[in-house]
Amino acid sequence: MVLDAMKLIEEYNPNVVILDIEMPGMTGLEVLAEIRKKHLNIKVIIVTTFKRPGYFEKAVVMMWMHMF
């Protein structure tokens, strides 16, 4: 499912993508990494109900690194 989402993201190049941390096939952070690796200029919103240590910090670092 997530791989299908990546195909749609590449095909339609949306302005914003909303991701959850827990998704079938890949985590939201892995999808974010793919988006950044492909240098797609897309805003990303990550939501979750999980309180896993480090996820928020890792997402912030990944998004911050893309800004510069």
Q: pLDDT, tens digit, for every residue of 4-33?
A: 888 889 999 999 999 888 888 888 888 888
Residue 62 structural domain = 2-67
Mean pLDDT within 27-53:
83
Q: According to the model, what pLDDT value does residue 16 have?
A: 95
Mean pLDDT within 38-47:
87
Q: What is the CATH number of the domain that holds 59?
A: 3.40.50.2300
What pTM value is reported for the model? 0.69
The number of domains in the chain is 1
Contacts of 17 (CB under 8 A, 6+ apart): 9, 31, 35, 42, 43, 44, 45
